[in-house]
Amino acid sequence: MSIRPFRDIKRRKTKEINVGKIKVGGNNPISVQSMTNTLTTDVNATIKQINEIHSEGADIVRVSCPDEESSRALKEIVKHVDVPLVADIHFHYKRAIEAAENGASCLRINPGNIGDVKKIKEVVKAAKDNNCSIRVGVNAGSLERDILEKFKEPCPEALVESALRNIRILEDENFSNLKISVKSSDIFLSINAYRLLSRITDYPLHLGITEAGSFIPGSIRSSIGLGTLLLEGIGDTIRISLSDNPVKEVKIGNEILKSLNLRERGVRIISCPSCARQGFQVIETVKVLEEKLSHIKTPITLSVIGCVVNGPGEAAMTDVGITGGNKGNNMLYLSGIQSKKISTNEMIEKIVSEVEKKASELENN
């Protein structure tokens, strides 16, 4: 049983492209990305972090390649991971060529930083030869000088003009396996730039609020910015940019998509904030359950409500539910129906067992 959305989001129709084995755009699910913060030259640490990010639910992982040693390291890294890698390139076009030759599935470039059109053409040739896609990554903090002089400051029109200019460069080389981002650390600037761009082009859009900040403010700012666009049907891939462990970026990204019914993955817990009516310690119970159920990837809904005010109603709409009762007699619900009373002492063990059982049933159907 799943909660039925009261509103289906009508996604903007975009071209389908390939990022390694992941299809982006078209009718494909919105993909979640993150980026390593290890030194790429530390191959073992980078492999470990990529696999952690992937295990948390990332579809694509970006890796910075600031120097030749980093782009060379990709050749060994790709042997030990099972997720497409995007090579993050700035300024030096040779790093992009090396990354394409060493196993990157996509090249993230800001052509404005590379500058010379001849160099960009060489990058495009390397992408074609190695079956790489390209992300045109426009950023409010690194616009081309003439565009910045024209508009006086970063604005939606400036970001979009930069994006269109760079798209034309790639299209002139008969290259269309590309996606675009127009990021800013300003929520309103980002939203309006993406809105404008989405009306002009049908290439897939990669959403993000760049330099969003630390975990709590960054998550909130990203949720507002990306959530607004996703509700309007805009966006084909997302990245939450946090000054924190990149695994947390994936957690937040997946939660945003799950909250909008745009993705189903893992256990979705509906829980109350708790109050004096609670029949058990809701907050601590939820923390324990999140940890014990983190291994489950099958979409399942679980309600954890401390009392009978909203508990039965929430439980009626979830796969598994628990409602607090008097003197530790809590009611377990399965598929929305009352099952039996269980004591607080046995509650967590029983919930975990029932969720795992439900996951197994769904996987085998």
Measured over the CA atoms of residue 277, residue 283, residue 284 and residue 290, the dihedral's sign is positive
Dist. CA 71–CA 215, nearest whole Å: 29
- Domains belonging to the chain, first-starting first, are 17-259 (3.20.20.20), 267-364 (3.30.413.10)
Report, in angstroms and rounded to the nearest whole number, the Rg of the chain calculated over CA atoms.
23
What's the one-letter identity of residue 261? Answer: N
CA distances from 182 to 92, 154, 156, 201 (A): 21, 11, 9, 13
User: What is the pTM (predicted TM-score) of this model?
Assistant: 0.89
pLDDT in tens, 277-333: 999 999 999 999 999 998 998 999 999 999 999 999 999 999 999 999 888 899 999
What pLDDT, on the 0 to 100 scale, is given for residue 115? 67
Q: What is the pLDDT along the chain (365 residues), one digit of tens a residue?
A: 444 444 578 899 999 999 999 999 999 999 999 999 999 999 999 999 999 999 999 999 999 999 999 999 999 999 999 999 999 998 788 999 999 999 999 999 876 677 677 888 899 999 999 999 999 999 998 888 899 999 999 999 999 999 999 899 899 999 999 999 999 999 999 999 999 999 999 999 999 999 999 999 999 999 999 999 999 999 999 999 999 999 999 999 999 999 998 988 889 999 999 999 999 999 999 999 999 998 998 999 999 999 999 999 999 999 999 999 888 899 999 999 999 999 999 999 999 999 999 999 988 87
Burial of 326 (0-12, 13-18, 19+ CB in 10 A): exposed
What's the one-letter identity of residue 226? Answer: L
**Close Cβ partners of 153 (under 8 Å, ≥ 6 residues apart):** none
Burial of 349 (0-12, 13-18, 19+ CB in 10 A): exposed
DSSP string, 170-218: HHHTT---EEEEEE-SSHHHHHHHHHHHHHH--S-BEE--TT--SHHHH
What pLDDT, on the 0 to 100 scale, is given for residue 1? 45
The residue whose two tokens read 């619900």 is 333
Dist. CA 35–CA 323, nearest whole Å: 40
What pLDDT, on the 0 to 100 scale, is given for residue 112? 65
**Close Cβ partners of 81 (under 8 Å, ≥ 6 residues apart):** 47, 50, 51, 54, 61
